[in-house]
Amino acid sequence: MSILPVIPRRVQGSELMMFRVAIVQAFFLAWAGVADAASFAALDFLPSDVSGDGQVIVGGRSVSVNEDGSRRLGRTVVDFPGYSPPTSYDASVFDEATGLLLLAGLADVGRDAHPQEISENGRFATGYSNESATNIAFFWDIDARTTRGVSIPVAGSDGRIKPLDVSNAGVVVGGCCESNENHAFVWSSEMGGALLEELPSANPASQALAISLDSSTIVGWVGELGSGARLPSRWSVLGELSLLETPGWAEAAVATDVSADGRTIIGQGLNAVGLPSPESRVVVWNEAGGAQPLDLILQLAGVDLAGWTLDTAVAVSSDGRTIVGVGTNPDGFSQGFVAVIPEPSVGMLLGLGLAGIAGLRPAQARGESGRSRVE
């Protein structure tokens, strides 16, 4: 695989401020005072990630943030004078200490970058560019200033790889192959790439959406091509599959993110064809309590949601307690939110009616730009 240097490019001046939007100091000052209690608040932007320490939330052109918020992955407009169109989006990292750094390999004339995630330690990032309905997948070692292509040795994977997350060890997960990248994979620069285990089916499908900080746990969904019925799932880093409990109020579900140690997983319920619906409540899975609805966890902890429904789970902090997502506010509009949940307790589990449910069962497997800070 080729190794490319990180190449500086001319950046539009207004884009240098892309990470510095929506600093909600008053809200987070109050939040810091009740850090050990359950809480809920609306955001004035749609979140894309939360830092591992739960203190920084990003959105807009900022797509991902590391453990302490010191590095944030995003998109920056780059000039290509004399071409039409004259600009493209490139992947970039904003470092609190050194400023903006453009990452090589993605943007080109007529081709935009789609950076996806930065590792919690801030060293690695992953993403892709697309052109003519194909994806070119990339992996960056930010500290070493190198860029590598991501490849999977499977027929049909060329131009069909979509990396979605990366761990502190540089292990990348995502979806590949077919027209919708619907086969989960794991990749590292040392070991190369491989597909993850899927359900036994003539037309299996899956996607890996997130990996834990320590690379021990991968989460996402499994199902069948052509069917929206998705089952929430987790894999070991070796690719071994287990199914998470599908919440009782939903016909399907997906797992979207995981805590640092893999013990807390978040996601949302879906309808039978895999689409959002009134059943699309945010779900929290843990080893003690099975599939728990986030809204009920908060209500039992004394939090008044005041007419909100919590629809989509976007990201969770390293300790599994701070969750950001998108809900429907009391006026009926989509809006971002941040919630802090308490540590699981016997009383909480009894209240949920889920005490003693592990939430996991073996699979019959075949062989898958806003910014807020707590000051």
pLDDT, tens digit, 9 for 90 and up, residues 257-309: 999 999 999 999 998 877 777 667 999 999 777 899 999 999 999 999 989 99
Q: Give the pLDDT mean for 316-334.
A: 96
Give the three-class secondary structure for 30.
helix
Which whole-number Å values give the CA distances from 344 to 37, 91, 264, in the listed order? Answer: 12, 38, 11
pTM of this structure:
0.82
Read off the tokens for 160: 């069909």
Taking a C-beta distance cutoff of 8 angstroms, is the pair 93, 103 a contact? Answer: yes
Rg (CA), the chain: 20
Is the per-residue pLDDT at 317 higher than 60?
yes
More confident residue, 61 or 157: 61
Omega prior to 85 cis, within 30 of 0: yes
Q: Give the pLDDT mean for 105-119.
A: 73
Is the per-residue pLDDT at 68 higher than 90?
yes
pLDDT of 17 reads 29
pLDDT of 80 reads 61
Is the per-residue pLDDT at 360 higher than 80?
no
C-alpha span between 177 and 184 (Å, rounded): 9
Tell me which residue has tokens 């807390």. 264
pLDDT of 289 reads 72
Give the helix ranges, DSSP H, for the chain: 25-33, 294-300, 346-352
Read off the tokens for 198: 């899927």
C-alpha span between 266 and 225 (Å, rounded): 24
Which segment, 88-92, 141-145, 304-308, 315-319, is predicted with the most confidence on average?
Answer: 315-319
pLDDT of 54 reads 96
Q: Give the pLDDT mean for 211-239.
A: 91
What domains are there in the chain, each with its CATH number? 4-373 (2.120.10.30)
Q: Which residues neighbour 29 within 8 Å (Cβ) at sequence distance 6 or greater?
A: 374, 375
Q: Give the pLDDT mean for 229-247.
A: 92
Average pLDDT, the chain: 79
Read off the tokens for 184: 């989960």
Which segment, 107-111, 221-225, 277-281, is predicted with the most confidence on average?
Answer: 221-225
Q: How many CB atoms lie within 10 A of CB 233?
A: 33
Closest among 229, 118, 133 to 178, alpha carbons compared:
133
Q: Give the pLDDT mean for 55-81.
A: 90
More confident residue, 108 or 220: 220
Residues 131-183 pLDDT 10s: 666 778 899 999 998 888 898 887 767 768 899 999 999 999 999 886 677 89
C-alpha span between 47 and 100 (Å, rounded): 21
In this prediction, residue 81 has a pLDDT band, given cuts at 50, 70 and 90, of low
